Amino acid sequence: MKRLLPLLSAIALMLVIVPACLYLAGSVDKPQMKGLMLIGTVLWFLTAPFWMGNDEA
């Protein structure tokens, strides 16, 4: 779990930025891009709080 959550968070961030890059390249349309970005956003906020900042203390 310790390694899985940061990995899922990384995938989430990819889902936020990569669809925008693909949209710029003309490979996806806008509704597809918006949908993927939303999935990435939800995944990020579901995973990041459980590992981010845990190593600060």
Residues 3-42 close enough to bind another protein by CB under 8 A = 12-13, 16-17, 19-21, 23-24, 26, 30, 33-34, 37-38, 41
Distance, in Å, from the CA atom of 57 to the CA atom of 52, rounded to the nearest integer, reads: 11
CA distances for 35 relative to 12, 45, 49, 54, angstroms: 13, 16, 22, 30
What type of residue sits at position 46? L
Nearer to another protein, 2 or 37 (CB): 37
Rule CB under 8 A: which residues touch another protein?
A: 12-13, 16-17, 19-21, 23-24, 26, 30, 33-34, 37-38, 41, 44-45, 48-49, 52-53
